[in-house]
Chains A and B, each alone.
Chain A
């Protein structure tokens, strides 16, 4: 009996591994194609390991006039500043919503939640006109400034702060500490895992954000990775190896972030959806 379940387990593992392999096949194909010669791109059966490795496509992506180095720097700048701002500003607001009684709190929170329903398409045109008017259209500020405000972040951290036992802050109140002190000294350090989760999820959003960059940026030297990638492919639309080298460059950072922050990402995604 015991060995029968063992066998079942092994078969199921193999089956699921096969399916998992199918899931990541596009990535494997992408990386392998980026090292092939143009003639080998579509040979069938697929050459998973190229017979003669070519580095030139990767070199092309990283050199020349519009290089991925620029896109990386732009994306990094936008994603980092937005994420740091978003985490801090969300934490502040979430604490207010979760821990302080004040007039109009429920109404305000309801307005916040209702804003989550508004599709980004509703906001694109007015934001475009507003940014044009204040002169931040076609600058990184057009992505950074709105990026520092995330309703999801407030929502997620509020859930977390609500779960912090109130005895902790009550004790601090008796000792004469105010909300600001409690927030910085007690709640924020306790919330480190939640903050890290939000930071990683938010960073991945900013890094992958294509739509906003598409609407608000024109100059090539301002391009982020998704936009740079699109640009590269439009200009080299027959160079399939180059396309795949560029796609690899676009994906690698997120894969690294995922491998490092896997636990947080999965926990955060699961927690926010099920408890939210």
Chain B
């Protein structure tokens, strides 16, 4: 009796999960396995033959100067994450209780995140225009005679992308921080105030430690989100000038769909996976710590 009930439960379970599982199998699991196989081949789109090449792609990656450049650019790109979080924390603390127009202000800060896409990429392209763009116009206005060339120079292009990304992520980080701040018991902040703590001391010694699990979570998820992204960069610079904004994720796209080096692209994409895996493991370890709070 019990056994047949279990069986019925199992059948029902698969009935519910089945439709979704088919899609996950078709569009996630099978492609992932297939890509893993491609990593060990010299598969080029439209080429007549494909050979098994073992670890050649991985070796090639290790010796590819461009891979090194892409990796370095990726790390510069990732710098945007902590900066954006720092700003977001300040905004979140300010917007948590002590201002008027809270809802409107939150919505305004969040706006860039929802309008993600190519549109904002092109707006920033013009804002950053080196000779006559408004940003450099402003910088000249405050007395900087030779403002940076931003997206048009190899030294500045990646930092220009960082600025866009900081702007883009700020609202997201702020919302998560706000959610965390609202979990903090009022009494704790009140107690610190009664003990004579100044506002910034309360922030530094009470609020900041209490939201540290959120900081950690945001850092890891932000790094993962950033490392996967290439749309904004593809739209603005296509990786240029030179290769100064070619990040790892864009490098994969270029190898696969510009040069049709699909085996090689598969290998790099698994390198990207490895990095994400490290971040995920870190998060998993951190989450255990988080439970204690």
Contact = CB atoms under 8 A, between A and B. Distances in A.
A118 B108 CA distance: 32
A266 B29 contact: no
A173 B172 CA distance: 42
Nearest to B112: A23
Contact of B180 (A13, A204, A274): A274
Contacts of B253: 121, 124, 211, 215
A45 B109 CA distance: 25
A188 to B, nearest CB: 12
Contacts, number: 277
Of the listed residues B20, B95, B176, the one surrounded by the most CB atoms of chain A closer than 10 A to its CB is: B20
B178 A229 contact: no
Interface in B199-232: 214, 217-218, 221, 227-228, 230-231
A171 interface: no
Of the listed residues A115, A124, A183, A246, the one surrounded by the most CB atoms of chain B closer than 10 A to its CB is: A124
Contacts of A69: none
A275 B86 CA distance: 21
Interface residues of A toward B: which range? 35 or more
B175 interface: yes
A154 B28 CA distance: 14
B249 A119 contact: yes
A168 interface: no
A93 B19 contact: yes
Contact of A42 (B98, B129, B230): B129
Interface stretch (B52-60, B120-128, B142-150): B120-128
Contacts of B141: 44-45
B14 A9 contact: no
Contacts of A8: 98
Nearest to A178: B12
A189 interface: no
A274 B115 CA distance: 22
A160 interface: no
Contact of B21 (A101, A108, A262): A108
B137 interface: yes
B172 A149 contact: no
A90 interface: yes
A20 B109 contact: yes
Interface in A15-36: 15-17, 19-21, 23-24, 26-27, 29-30, 33
Interface string B152-178: 000000000000000100111001101
Contacts of B91: 16, 19
Contact of B17 (A24, A108, A225, A257): A108
Contacts of A92: 16-17, 19-20
Contacts of A174: none
Contacts of A215: 253, 257
A101 B176 contact: no
A247 B28 contact: no
A72 interface: no
A214 B132 CA distance: 31
A243 B179 contact: no
Interface string A241-267: 001101110110011011100100110
A146 B23 contact: yes
Contacts of B115: 27, 208, 251, 254-255, 258
B80 interface: no
Q: Is the interface of A mostly helix, strand, loop or mixed?
A: helix
Contact of B123 (A30, A100, A210, A230): A30
A66 B277 CA distance: 42
B28 A42 contact: no
Nearest to A247: B119
A119 B115 CA distance: 22
Given A26-B120, A44-B132, A226-B117, A16 B99 contact: yes
A213 to B, nearest CB: 10
Contacts of A102: 9-14
A191 interface: no
B27 to A, nearest CB: 4
Contacts of B129: 42
Nearest 5 pairs of A and B residues by beta carbon: A102-B13, A96-B16, A149-B23, A93-B20, A126-B31
Given A27-B115, A119-B228, 10 more contacts: A9-B99, A17-B105, A24-B108, A46-B134, A93-B20, A119-B272, A128-B256, A244-B123, A248-B119, A266-B175
30 contacts: A12-B99, A15-B94, A23-B167, A23-B171, A26-B127, A26-B167, A42-B134, A89-B20, A90-B20, A92-B16, A97-B17, A100-B9, A101-B6, A101-B9, A108-B17, A108-B21, A121-B265, A124-B265, A125-B262, A126-B31, A126-B32, A145-B23, A149-B28, A208-B116, A210-B234, A229-B118, A247-B122, A251-B115, A259-B107, A274-B217
Interface of B: 6, 9-17, 19-21, 23-24, 27-32, 34-35, 38, 91, 94-95, 98-101, 105-112, 114-120, 122-124, 126-127, 129, 132-134, 137, 141, 167, 170-172, 175-176, 178-180, 214, 217-218, 221, 227-228, 230-231, 234-235, 249, 252-253, 256-257, 262, 265-266, 268-270, 272-273, 276-277, 280
